[in-house]
Structure formats: structure tokens, C-alpha cells
Amino acid sequence: MAVLRSDIIIPEIFTPYVIEQTTQRDSFLASGVVAPMAELNATEGGDFVNVPFFSANLSGDFEVLSDSSSLTPGKISTDKQVGVILHRGRAFESRDLAALAAGSDPMAAIGQKIGAYIANQRQKDLLACLDGVFGSINANDSNSAFFGLTIDSESGDTPTGLSPKHVAKARAILGDQGDKLTAVCMHSKVYYDLVERKMVDYVLASDGNGGSATASGGTIAPAYAGGNDTVPTYCGLRVIVSDDVSTTGSGSSTEYSTYFFTAGAVASGEQAGLTTETDRDILAKSDAMAIDLHYTYHPVGSKWAVTTTNPNRTQLATVANWSKVYETKNIGIVRATNVSTQD
């Protein structure tokens, strides 16, 4: 029996493969910044996910015991985080004539690249959420959910290149929780600025949160000598490089968002797992593949504060759609604004 090109992608086999490839290519998940939260798995349906919690600390001081008075009972306050479900999908088509002209099968190529594509699209959704809780890059918006968790972001500030001073400030903002920072996400221009200054170290990927270094002093070759076996670190923080972080300005005046994270600072959940479907149109002589995902990314300590369902990225990045429910120092994300000499 002849093998059809549509047989190359068999959903029952292909879906687990794509999930594995997506996981391997998700830098935020690999770094521990994103952590699955069972409470966000909205398997029972709905457009939002509520995660109730008790306040981080008990209030009030010790009372002085006395024979003439009784203790005054205190209470523990409650609140809830609210996540919003994102429903996403994409379809790809390959025509037989295109395959003949190319000398290879476009659908097979799509199948090989889909994992990286999904990881990148999900990353853009995550960064849109961060834009929403922090607000504009060059304005420390007092209406933003994570107001006060920024460095050099106010109008009139003069952002500088990323330095250990920014790391220290980020830790200081989180107070006694500052030592829990584990990762930093930056634009490639900011990253290669650090490389040029020999401020990037590399560690084994299997020990990417701070094990024995395979190279130090900013030598760039070891980062690639071992393929994917090494990861970059800066000031002890695992580096995530993404050109999808928000920027403002142009040329040498470009300012870049840099994010510092604690482990699990962003929670994730799924309403339904990845689904892949294929179809063959014998009249058009084409193969098609479609994927759909239903998930949520949620900056821990925030709340989706509006009734808008299935928001697009513009809505995710809107300050008015988010509010804060955790104490500031218990939110594990700080944003700095930096420039780069690579522009």
C-alpha cells in the first residue's frame, strides 16, 4: 500500500512528540520560572480559575496577659488569585505541487518545527501577561498590579546596561525573599552586551540552577561546544534570552525589559491537553494539520480582574485587567529597564 504524505503525521504518535519537543524548548519551564499548579488545571470547564489562599502572615502583636482581661481573638484573612484560560489554535497546509517543486515534503518540515513554534507562541503569551502586571516599560505605573517591583522604569530615569547593581536592587526590592531569585530573562542585545564584557558564566544544563561551572569569565565558546549541554548564568542566575521582551525607543535609545524571577514565579495550568488533527483534501491535493491548546499562564500573586474571557495578547498586556493580591515581597518577579551597547 502506498504511504500518503498525510500518514507522516499520525495524531496519536505525533501529539506526545510535540508535547515533549515543546517542553524541551520552553526556556521558562526548563529554568523553573514556570511551574505547573494543579489548582490552575480547569478540567471542569469555565473561563477562569480561582485559587483561594490565606494571607502570608498572621497580624497583630503579642498581648500582655492579665488577670483582669481576656485575649482578643485574631483572624486570618483570605483572598484569591484568578487566572484566565487562553484558547489557542493554528492550522498549516501543504499542497502536493509545492512538495514537488521543493523536492521535499513541507508538511514533514512543519512537523519537525511545530514544537519550537508552540513554545515560542506560549512564551509570547507569558510575556504579554508580564507587560500587563507591570505596565509600560518607561513608566512606573502606580495603577499596575506589580507597582513598586521595577528598577529604572520611571519617567526621567536613565537606564543603564545590566550590571550586578541591578541584581542587588532586585534582591533588595524583595527584602528577605531576595535570596530566592533564580533566573533572569533579557533581550539578546542585553545578553551579548554582557558577553562582550565577559560577565556570563556557563554551567551544565543538568545543573543549571547553580552547579559546577564548565566555563567562566564570559568565554563564549563553551556555551556552544557542548551543544545544549550548557546554559548561561549571570550573577548566579540562570539566563533566559528572548527577543520578545517589551522594548521602547529605537537605535541607541532603545530600552529593554529585563525580568528577575524566583522559582515558580509564574504558574501554569491546562484545561485540555494539546490536540493535533490531520486532513487530506483529495480535490485540492493538499494535506492540512491543525493544533489547539487550552491553558493559562499566571504571574503568582496577581488576579485577572475583569470579565473578559479568552483574551488576546493586547488584552493580556493591558494594565487595567490585572490587580495584585499578594504582599509585594512575596511576588517573585522584578523588572529592570536596561540599554545595550550592541545597538
DSSP string over 68-87: TB--------EEEEEEE-EE
Whether the per-residue pLDDT at 168 is higher than 90: the answer is yes
Cβ-Cβ contacts under 8 Å for 114 (sequence gap 6 or more): 18, 21, 291
Write out pLDDT tens, residues 125-135: 999 999 999 99
**Local confidence band at 156 (pLDDT 50, 70, 90 cut-offs):** low
Cβ-Cβ contacts under 8 Å for 199 (sequence gap 6 or more): 218, 234
Whether the per-residue pLDDT at 93 is higher than 50: the answer is yes
Whether the per-residue pLDDT at 193 is higher than 50: the answer is yes
Write out pLDDT tens, residues 70-79: 888 877 777 8
Domain boundaries, the chain: 5-53+83-187+242-338
Cα distance between residue 260 and residue 173, in whole Å? 11
Section 310-319 average pLDDT: 96
The x, y and z cell numbers of residue 192, run together, are 551579548
**Local confidence band at 246 (pLDDT 50, 70, 90 cut-offs):** very high
In the prediction, which pLDDT does 175 show? Answer: 92
Q: Where are the alpha helices (DSSP H) in 156-229?
A: 164-173, 188-196, 221-225
Cα distance between residue 158 and residue 231, in whole Å? 30
pTM of the model: 0.82
- Give the length of the chain: 343
The x, y and z cell numbers of residue 174, run together, are 524583595
- Count CB-CB contacts under 10 A for residue 286: 19
The x, y and z cell numbers of residue 66, run together, are 492579665
Cβ-Cβ contacts under 8 Å for 198 (sequence gap 6 or more): 217, 218, 219
**Local confidence band at 268 (pLDDT 50, 70, 90 cut-offs):** very high
- Name 292's bridge partners: 89, 275
Pairing of strands 230-234, 237-241: antiparallel
In the prediction, which pLDDT does 41 show? Answer: 87
DSSP-assigned states of every residue in 40-109? G--TT--SEEEEEEE-SS--SPPPPPBTTB--------EEEEEEE-EEEEEEEEEEHHHHHHHTS-HHHH
Q: Where are the alpha helices (DSSP H) in the chain?
A: 11-25, 27-31, 96-102, 106-134, 164-173, 188-196, 221-225, 313-316
Of residues 189, 193, 153, the one with CA closest to residue 334: 153
Please provide the average confidence, as pLDDT, over all residues in the chain. Answer: 83
- Count CB-CB contacts under 10 A for residue 170: 25
Place of cell 498581648: 63
For 138-141, the CB contacts below 8 A with 24+ separation are 138/248, 138/255, 138/337, 141/319
